[in-house]
A and B are shown apart, each in its own frame.
Chain A
Amino acid sequence: MSREALHESLSAVMDNEADELELRRVLADSGETELRSTWSRYQIARAAMHKELIEPRLDIAAAVSAAIADEAAPVKPAEHKRSVWQNVGRIAVAASVTVAVLAGVRLYNGGADSAPQMAQQAAQPAPSGLSVPQAQGPAMLAGYSEGEADAGQAAQDTTAVEGWHEQRLPEYVRQHAQQAAFGGSETALPYARAASMEER
């Protein structure tokens, strides 16, 4: 398998378009150290996104600024349409922003008129495009879409962080979540939601 094809495979895996096991096999065969290290960096970035890494409390502002700085940095010109390096950079930015969000509560100021919608974060593990259930017929099950937003957007949204809110919002959110979790709920969903709000 050519070097170019390997890069293409790695890129596809990052975009959730390829089978990971297949790629592992390819990597094992190739013995390319550069690709291997790219792959391991990707794994670390993804672990961070999935909260598997134990991160100490982070300075949100610093983490976000760093993410913005990284994003603004010029990217090595791509050899072909989907450069591996571009993808690594993008995932790293998304991961660092995500960690910043996990470490606290993401705050941003701005116009009040924007449509209510999920904060746009690129390259996140959560699926984004999902069809609304249809009226009749077979069950519409959740499907992953491969749509990618721009990582820069997540960084732009995060501008000012205010101390006043920082001191209170996490506790308010906890109170809200726990009240629902232990308020005689029928399912474990509010509990799981509350657990996801806990900083660890």
Chain B
Amino acid sequence: MRVIPLCVVALGGWLTMPALAADDAFQWLKRLAEAEHQQSYAGDFVYQRNGSFSTHAIWQRVAGGEVRERLLQLDGSAVEVAMVDGRPVCATQGLVPGAASGNGLGGDRFDPRVLTQSYELRVIGDSRVAGRDTVALAILPRDQHRYGMELHLDRATGLPLKSLLLNEQGQLLERFQYTRLDVGDVTPETLRTGTGCKTVEVPPAREPQPVEWRSDWLPPGFEQLESDVRSSPAADESVAWLSYGDGLARFSVFIEPLRGEVVQDARSQMGPTVAVSKRVTVDDGDVMVTVVGEIPLGTAERIALSMRKAPGLAQQ
């Protein structure tokens, strides 16, 4: 009879262990979410994907409830961006309309709770990045409609020092990794941008235009973040734009009328980003639906084919 309670204890302990590991990972992600808004730091990082490798320097200064950031590309042309509370204030290169407006619905602010709906979180062990002790987390997709991530967080601050995006076969799609991180005081001088960094004009605030499109099918966990009507990059046409996210992955849908033009479907992949264009027939002529995002190709195709026109419908 003495064996039974022991068994219960042992079994109970064994059952709760994975739960604790997940809970631990969740706590780490919460720490990450806080650190990015409270921590001043400076560092260098590399970004690598299929066909691209670049090095960057970053400075972040948090003072008076304001987060100021400066990012400078270290190789090739000196691409530079300065941001205040995540909104670009100066940039060496032209930004797309909407990038500077900051009129996002704010729905995509990193929230570990949203993440757990679509991903399983695990602490996978200790690691070391940029000469600092880090904890390695696995963010594993619960289905085949999104990629997994290996995330290494600084033990001292919770800052993400390394992230690897992996496809379902475990192949590396992209690497983001710090090579140096200095935590603490960042002087305002270091945040001063070069002369090539041109002030970003903030367009007058306007309500996003209603989009007469909706998705018939979405991968579980993805929700619409924003939508708007923009002008076509190549023709005098209006393009309906919708963006979706699951708390980690994002994709955008662009819908442009073809006006009788014969254009074939297309697919392309740039590292983690896939672009799928599908011709969809609606009552008033064909349109080209283009899905761009960090999602598997098959999922993007299915989304493209699931877009439906719903006149009079907006923000749904």
User: Which A positions have Cβ atoms within 8 angstroms of B?
Assistant: 49-52, 54, 98, 101-102, 105-110, 112, 114-119, 121, 124-142, 160, 162, 164-165, 167-189, 191-193, 195-198, 200
Contact = CB atoms under 8 A, between A and B. Distances in A.
A105 B266 CA distance: 11
A200 B176 CA distance: 20
Interface of B: 18, 21, 32-33, 36, 45, 47-54, 56, 58, 71, 73, 75-77, 79, 81, 83, 86-88, 93, 95-96, 98-100, 102, 104, 106, 108-110, 122, 124-127, 136, 138, 140, 148, 150, 152, 160, 163-164, 166-176, 225-226, 230, 232-234, 241, 243, 250-252, 254, 256, 261, 263-275, 277, 288, 290, 292-294, 296-301
A49 B136 CA distance: 30
Query: Does more than half of chain A's interface fall in helix, strand or loop, or is it mixed?
Result: loop
Contact of B51 (A124, A178, A181, A188): A124
Nearest to A144: B172
Given A101-B270, A168-B232, A187-B163, A118 B50 contact: yes
A189 B163 contact: yes
Nearest to A189: B176
A43 B297 CA distance: 33
The interface centre, meaning the residue of A51, A125, A175 with most chain B CB atoms within 10 A of its CB, is A175
A132 B173 CA distance: 12
B96 A174 contact: yes
Nearest to A101: B51
Given A176-B252, A187-B163, A108 B267 contact: yes
B171 A128 contact: yes
Given A114-B297, A192-B54, A198-B79, 15 more contacts: A107-B268, A110-B267, A116-B274, A119-B269, A124-B51, A160-B264, A162-B266, A169-B275, A172-B252, A176-B243, A176-B252, A178-B99, A184-B104, A193-B271, A196-B270
